[in-house]
Amino acid sequence: MKTHSIALIPGDGIGVDVTDATMEVLTAAGEAHGFALKTETFPWSCEYYVETGAMMPADGIETLRGFDAVYLGAVGWPKTVPDSVSLHGLLLPIRKAFTQYANIRPHRLLKGVEGPLKAEGFDILCIRENTEGEYSGAGGRVHEGTANEVAVETSIFTRAGVERILRFGFEQAMQRRKHLTSVTKSNAQKYSMVFWDEVTKELAAEYPEVTVSHMHIDAMAAKMVMAPEQLDVVVASNLFGDILTDLGAAIQGGLGFAASANINPDRTAPSMFEPVHGSAPDIAGKGLANPIAAIWSGAMMLEHLGEAEAASAILTAIEAATATGVGTRPGSHSTGEITAAVIAALKG
């Protein structure tokens, strides 16, 4: 039987709850579709940081490199470890070390889920640059604590980085409705964002079938609320994509439904799959977390691993559950009830 090796990093808070739920569903999908998942769980988290002084061991990245994929629940427990420390110690280094340059996030309403908008028929694939841009981590502080203190944080846009994320976007658009929206702020940021617009135009010439819109981030925020059904593939820089995908999560009914994949399209290292939501300390361990975003992210992982049938069966099962109201409103069902409903539908 085909076996895929998965490194599990449940992380903090509800990350643990939703990782357990996801693995139950993925295991059931494997039984139905003839593959197995060989998992190893790593306790890397804020608790691990408190015990060891690091979010993961020094050879953590090398350990993960041997797996077919990484599945991550959530990172963050600000009561004990500042978010700027925990995220720069685990999630962000993995994205960068494994060149997971495409962060892809689907935004559409699952059956039975009511979003806050009148619009219903939207189906957006947000593609966020995931390794450079505004989150490159280049910068520093001098004269700390004095009146002359200076903080500098530099955005980095490389031709290689901008070109590959846009190319990935064009390729996705070719498989979908052949429309790509490139999001910048080139009216105000005259170097990096004008450069991004130029690269978009260069690539557009290679993909004549794809219609391209150039939008500024501010107008784009409004469009995602006023006319999301006009969007197909959306490509944005790290910061802009980060913000737009929380907006995307909101219009699809909330973070409980927002799935995400950090993809290394060249497959030179494992890709990582995680729900968009965080660790939600207030409801951690109470069985209240909605596992749908996490399970959907797990389906994206199976698709990446070549198990497209199982992935689409999971999506169908999720929607069979939500169509009957399971997991569609906060607090209406427990994590276990939602997971059981998805598995029941999967076994159909």
| Contact residues: Mn ion, CB under 5 A | 242
- Out of 242, 266, 282, 286, pick the active-site residue: 242
CB 39, CB 303: distance < 8 Å: no
In the bound state with Mn ion, the residue whose beta carbon lies nearer, of 234 and 311, is: 234
Complex with ligand IPM: residue 234 or 343, whichever CB lies closer: 234
For 159, residues 6+ apart whose C-beta sits below 8 A from its C-beta are 199
**How many whole angstroms separate alpha carbon 240 and alpha carbon 293?**
21
Q: Please say which residue, 92 or 204, places its beta carbon nearer to Mn ion.
A: 92
Question: With binding defined as CB under 6 A, does residue 32 bind ligand IPM?
Answer: no
Nearest to 127 by CA among 183, 194, 208, 87: 183
Q: Is the C-alpha dihedral spanning 275, 280, 284, 286 positive or negative? A: negative
Taking CB under 6 A as the rule, does residue 17 contact ligand IPM? Answer: no
Beta bridge partners of 262: 103, 272
What does the per-residue mask of binding to ligand IPM show for 256-285, with x meaning CB under 6 A?
--------------------x---------
Task: Return the residue of 32, 54, 85, 87 that touches ligand IPM, per CB under 6 A.
Answer: 87
Could you tell me if 214 and 197 are in contact, meaning their C-beta atoms sit under 8 angstroms apart?
yes
What is the nearest approach in angstroms of ligand IPM to the Cβ of residue 345?
Answer: 28
87 binds, among Mn ion, ligand IPM, none (CB under 5 to 8 A by kind): ligand IPM
Specify whether the CB–CB gap between 111 and 292 falls below 8 A: no
Considering the complex, state which of residue 87 and residue 323 has its C-beta at the smaller distance from ligand IPM: 87
For the CA atoms of 283, 284, 286, 290, the dihedral, rounded to the nearest 10 degrees, stands at 70
Q: Looking at 246, 282, 286, 347, which residue is catalytic? A: 246
**Residue 242 touching ligand IPM (CB under 6 A):** yes
Instruction: Assess contact for 228 and 123: CB atoms under 8 A.
Output: no
User: Is residue 242 among the annotated active site residues?
Assistant: yes
Q: Which of 32, 284 has the CB closer to ligand IPM?
A: 284
Q: Which of 329, 341, 332 is nearest to 256 (CA)?
A: 329
**Judged by CB, which is closer to ligand IPM: 186, or 245?**
245
- Residue 174 binding partner per list ligand IPM, Mn ion, none, with a CB distance cut-off of 5 to 8 Å that depends on partner kind: none
Judged on CB neighbours under 10 Å (0-12, 13-18, 19+), 50 is exposed
The yes-or-no answer on residue 83 being catalytic is no
Tally of CA atoms within 13 A in the half-sphere of 255 that contains its CB: 14
Contacts of 260 (CB under 8 A, 6+ apart): 103, 104, 105, 245, 273, 274, 275, 276, 297, 300
Asked if residue 132 binds ligand IPM (CB under 6 A), the reply is no
Among ligand IPM, Mn ion, none, residue 97 binds (CB under 5-8 Å by kind): none
* 2 catalytic per annotation: no
* # of chain residues touching ligand IPM (CB under 6 A): 3
Q: Is 134 in the site for ligand IPM (CB under 6 A)?
A: no
For binding to ligand IPM (CB under 6 A), which residues are involved?
87, 242, 276
Active site residues: 135, 185, 218, 242, 246
